[in-house]
Every structure is written in C-alpha cells, then in structure tokens.
C-alpha cells in the first residue's frame, strides 16, 4: 500500500541510535535526523495492551506541546506513526537540572543559580499564560541543552485549567514538590501549585539538596511545617475546609536565613513569597520573574556559560551504551565524592570545595583516575549510586533514574 511507503519514508528520515531509557509507555532512543543532521530523542509510544489506542498521557503531552512553542519548553519536532506505534520526535537534550544539582564537581555561582532558575520560571510563565498547569515540576523534568538552555519537559501530567470550578486530581507532582493545598486534598487549584514546586526547585538549587524531603504525604506536611511553621487560619483562610485537613502541632517559622544560608536577601525574599501558604496570595510566576532578585547584581549567567556535567565518554567505556545504562558513567571518584558530600554537605557549602576551575572534563577525568587506591574503602560506603540512597527521591515511578537517560518520558500515568 502506498500509505505504508509514506510511513516508511518518514521513519527512514531518522537513524536510530542507542536506547536512552524506558518509561511507562514506551522506549526513548537517540536518533539522527538525516534531514537536518540534528540529534533527536524519539519516544516510541507502545499501544496499550488494553486496546485503548494512543496512550492517554502521551496524547496529553502531544496536545499541549503542540500549543507551547518556546525556547524554554521542550520542542516536539515531529510525530509519526510507524508499524502501528506512534513516535514522538523531540530535540535532544544533554542533561537535566537534577544532574547539575547532584554533580559535586559543579560549582554554581549565584549568577548561575539565577540563570537556571530564571529559565525555569520563563518556561513556566509560558505554560501559565496559555492556561496550562505543568503539575510535575521537579529538577529532572528540567532538561538542559548543549547551549545551556533549560527547557521544561514531561507534560504527561499537565492540563488546561481555564474553566473555573473544574475539579482536578490532587495526586500530582512528585511528593517533595507538592504544594500544601494538594497534600490537604484540594481538588480545585490553580497555577500556584506550580509556583510552590518552583520554589522547592529554587531552594534545591541554592542548598544543593532537596528542600522538603517527606517520606509520606503526612510526613511531607510535617517537613513543610517544621521549616516554614504551621499555618494558621489567619494566614490561610480556607485551610480548615480542605478535604484532607488534619491539624498539626504548632511549629514556629524558621528564619529563611537559616534555611538557605548561602542565599542573598533578594533570593530569600523571593523564596518566602513562593512559599506563601495561602495559594491566593502566593506570588505568580510572572510576578516572580519581575522580582528584584532577577535584576539585582549578580545578573543571570549567560546560558552558554553555565556549568553542566561533563559529557559522558562513551568511547572509553563500552558499557555506557548498554541498554540498561545504569550508573556506570560515574567514575568511582565521583561516586565517592558524591556520597561524602551528601553526608557532610548539610551546611550547603561543601560542594564549593570542588571549585570552579575543576569543571573541565579532562581535569576531572584525571582526578577520577588517581582515585583508584581509595576505591575499595569508599565503594563500601557508596550505597547511593545504585539507586538505594538513604533517602531515595520520590519520583512517582522510580524505575530508572540514571543521568544518561533523557527524562523525556513520563513516569506516571494517572487516571483523571
């Protein structure tokens, strides 16, 4: 049939390379677009076993990404059916913000943090201007391209929030980024849920570790109140009317200076406005972008000059191209450092020991080489690398979380 010929022709445009990862609804692989010469990431959407056609979450992502074209939002370049499966072609992204935050070899200057966070908010502002809630803001959904541009990705939980009074599910976001109104079961909410999550990302950038790490929904609220104080009806009028409201013992607010010791006064002011309890008075993304933090010195770093994890060195390590590329890319030295930093890193400054001039890939590679003799000892404490850190990140689905994988895929499918 001529139709199949056309289909084949389209599919032939892309030269398949290695698999980048596997998500709930399909495989993501790297490919070369022979038409443009660009590297792309192709998400192959498996048709469900339940005979339900194109996966619902995939359809959501396609629908919204076709409307959201912006430098700070991942580009859906193309979509095509091939052999009964739908293929989504995305621009290829080198790394993500989680990898940047977690990389102990990276020093983030205040200007770098400002730049990464500004791009995050810019992408989010585009969504909100178009009445789209992202609902899954977290560092590993913020992808970073080879030019340093940060882009929002993973719109599988996103939806349009135009009609007033529509009820949504509160089971959105990875727990650590979930706003208190969602944790209290609110079904009617707005753009402010994304703002809270963005605030968590901001604090994580500043402190270089997740800001509010609860291990259950109840504990998450506890962690929030422990740092930000227990909200009172005076601060948050509708609080007691929320479906899952439970009373917590009263905790006093800790000073922001103590919570983020390295941040500037402007940064702390912005943070406190993003963490306002009452969603109605919480700062909007647009207001946040206009906050003086972004215009005060130091100015945001030019994206092209932002520090990023060194590119992986495939040729040196054939295992990196394995299908289930786990944490093999990390050299032993880096793994070891990472654990040490995590352990003693609670003052938020320890990463700075690594200093800026060590950013170059070659220096680090050399550093990695001469770490050999310490390896056995350090490896024994290094239980973090293989996915069982003392506190694992509460991704909705923790199946694969390697730095190699471009998190283009959804992690979670939620029936509305």
Partner 1 sequence: MAANFWNSSHYKQLFDQEEVDVVHPLDKDKGITLEDFKLIKMHMVIPICKLAQQVKVRQRVVATAVTYMRRLYTRKSMSEYDPRLVAPTCLYLASKAEESTVQARLLVYCIKKMYSDDKYRYEIKDILEMEMKILEALNYYLVVFHPYRSLPQFLQDAGMNDISMTQLTWGLVNDTYRMDLILIHPPHLIALACIYTASVYREKDKTAWFEELRVDMNVVKNIAMEILDFYESHRLITDERINAAFNKLKP
Q: Is 44 annotated as a binding residue?
A: yes
Among this protein's residues, is 342 annotated catalytic? no
Residue by residue, what is the 3-state secondary structure of the chain? CHHHHHHHHHHHCEEEEEEEEEECCEEEEEEEECCCCCEEEEEEECCCCCCCCCCHHHHHHHHHHCCCCCCCECCEEEEEEECCEEEEEEECCCEEHHHHHHCCCCCCCHHHHHHHHHHHHHHHHHHHHCCEECCCCCHHHEEECCCCCEEECCCCCCEECCCCCCCCCCCCCCHHHCCHHHHCCCCCCCCHHHHHHHHHHHHHHHHCCCCCCCCCHHHHHHHHHHHHCCCCCCCCCCHHHCCCCCCCCCCCCCCHHHHCCCCCHHHHHHHHHHCCCCCCCCCCHHHHHCCHHHCCCCCCCCHHHCCCCCCCCHHHCHHHHCCCCCHHHCCHHHHHHHHHHHHHHHHCCHHHHHCHHHCCHHHHHHHHHCCHHHHHHHHHHCCCCCCCCCCCCCCCCCCCCCCCCCCCCCCCCCCC
Output 7 or 18, the one with its CB closest to partner 1: 7
| Annotated catalytic residue within 33, 136, 194, 342 | 136
Could you tell me the smallest distance in angstroms from the CB atom of residue 39 to partner 1? 22
Output 77 or 235, the one with its CB closest to partner 1: 77
Could you tell me the smallest distance in angstroms from the CB atom of residue 43 to partner 1? 13
Could you tell me the smallest distance in angstroms from the CB atom of residue 28 to partner 1? 18
Output 41 or 132, the one with its CB closest to partner 1: 132
Could you tell me the smallest distance in angstroms from the CB atom of residue 236 to partner 1? 28
Output 47 or 340, the one with its CB closest to partner 1: 47
Could you tell me the smallest distance in angstroms from the CB atom of residue 67 to partner 1? 5
In the complex, the residues that contact partner 1 under the rule CB under 8 A are 47, 51-54, 56, 59-60, 62-64, 66-67, 79-81, 84, 86, 129-131, 159-160, 162-163, 415-416
Output 161 or 236, the one with its CB closest to partner 1: 161
Residues marked as binding? Answer: 44
Q: Pick out the residues of the known binding site for ATP.
A: 44
> Catalytic site residues?
136
């Amino acid at each position: 049939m001529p139709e199949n010929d056309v289909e084949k022709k389209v599919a032939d445009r892309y030269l398949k390379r290695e698999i980048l990862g596997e998500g709930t609804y399909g495989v993501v692989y790297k490919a070369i677009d022979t038409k443009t010469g660009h590297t792309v990431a192709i998400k192959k959407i498996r048709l469900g076993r339940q005979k339900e056609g194109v996966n619902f979450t995939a359809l959501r992502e396609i629908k919204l990404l076709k409307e959201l074209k912006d430098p700070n939002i991942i580009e859906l370049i193309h979509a095509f059916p091939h052999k009964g499966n739908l293929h989504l072609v995305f621009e290829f992204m080198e790394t993500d913000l989680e990898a940047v935050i977690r990389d102990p070899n990276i020093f983030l200057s205040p200007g770098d943090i400002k730049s990464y966070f500004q791009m995050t908010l810019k992408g989010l502002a585009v969504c909100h201007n178009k009445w789209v809630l992202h609902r899954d803001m977290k560092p590993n959904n913020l992808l970073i391209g080879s030019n340093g541009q940060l882009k929002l990705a993973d719109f599988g939980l996103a939806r349009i929030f135009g009609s007033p009074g529509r009820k949504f599910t509160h089971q959105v976001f990875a727990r650590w980024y979930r706003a208190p109104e969602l944790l209290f079961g609110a079904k009617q909410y707005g753009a402010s849920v994304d703002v809270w999550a963005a605030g968590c990302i901001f604090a994580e950038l500043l402190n270089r570790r997740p800001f509010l790490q609860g291990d259950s929904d109840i504990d998450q609220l506890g962690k929030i109140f422990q740092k930000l104080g227990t909200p009172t009806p005076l601060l948050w009028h509708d609080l007691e009317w929320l479906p899952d409201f439970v009373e917590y013992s009263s905790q006093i607010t800790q000073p922001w200076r103590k919570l983020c010791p390295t941040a500037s006064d402007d940064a702390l002011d912005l943070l406190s406005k993003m963490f306002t309890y009452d969603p109605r008075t919480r700062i909007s993304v647009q207001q946040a972008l206009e906050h003086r933090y972004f215009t005060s010195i130091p100015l945001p770093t030019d994206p092209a000059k932002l520090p990023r994890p060194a590119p992986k060195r495939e040729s040196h390590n054939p295992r990196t191209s394995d299908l289930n590329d786990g944490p093999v890319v990390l050299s032993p030295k880096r793994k070891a450092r990472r654990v040490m930093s995590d352990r003693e890193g609670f003052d938020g400054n320890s990463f700075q020991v690594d200093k800026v001039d060590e950013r170059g890939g070659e220096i680090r590679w050399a550093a990695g080489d001469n770490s050999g003799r310490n390896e056995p000892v350090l490896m024994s404490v290094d239980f973090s690398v293989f996915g069982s850190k003392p506190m694992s990140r509460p991704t909705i689905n923790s199946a694969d979380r390697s730095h190699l994988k471009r998190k283009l895929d959804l992690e979670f499918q939620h029936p509305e």
